[in-house]
Amino acid sequence: MPSFTIESTYRLPVFRHRTYEAATPEDACQLAIADEDWTGQKEDYENSGATYLTGIWPGVDSAYMAPALALPPGYGEGECPPPMTQTEPSPLAASPLMPRCRHCGSADICRDANAIWDETAQQWSLLATYDSQTCERCGADSNNLALWVPVAEAGSATAFLWEVIQALETTSLAWEADFQCFCNESYGQLTADEAATRWRSAAGV
């Protein structure tokens, strides 16, 4: 089976807290922007950007040593990769999908759109949709906010897993085996908030 070396990237917000003496808020902002000393900086891993790919090469450990291949559509920065699937006992290859917020796991995703008045139907008709997506739960907004996953049936163990994820606001847990087992064991025994609290305690968060 062929091997490929892939360079993956994500943007990590870095921040600092520093006090400035200034006559006005605007002057203080100017001082902060001009300040090039980042001693004591902190990394905001909770709000890191989505992972995207910046290179692919044939072979093992071949980055920048072999001619690069073209990235498949959907894997570059700002693009939407093919739908990710959860670990399910019997996943359906053609199961319907739904968007989840990459930040908090909520299904309440809205997308900017444009409508035009239809004189014949006497109602607004959808004209176009735009890339910008917004989570109604946490307020996150980006062009790559939606994480596409199979539809979770209301009241199912999978729906419960996503309820716990929303309480924890950590979508990466959805594909961790330990977390999946924990949710399966907690399903029907605990509320989502109770399960989230127990998971945080066990994880030392």
Residue 95 has what pLDDT? 63
- For residue 51, pLDDT over 70 is answered with yes
- For residue 78, pLDDT over 80 is answered with no
Residue 94 has what pLDDT? 52
Query: Containing H/E element for 52?
Result: strand 52-58
Q: How far apart are CA 4 and CA 61, in angstroms?
A: 8
Q: How far apart are CA 140 and CA 138, in angstroms?
A: 6
Q: What is the pTM of this model?
A: 0.51
- For residue 93, pLDDT over 90 is answered with no
With a CB cutoff of 8 Å and minimum separation 6, the contacts of 44 are 12, 13, 14, 15
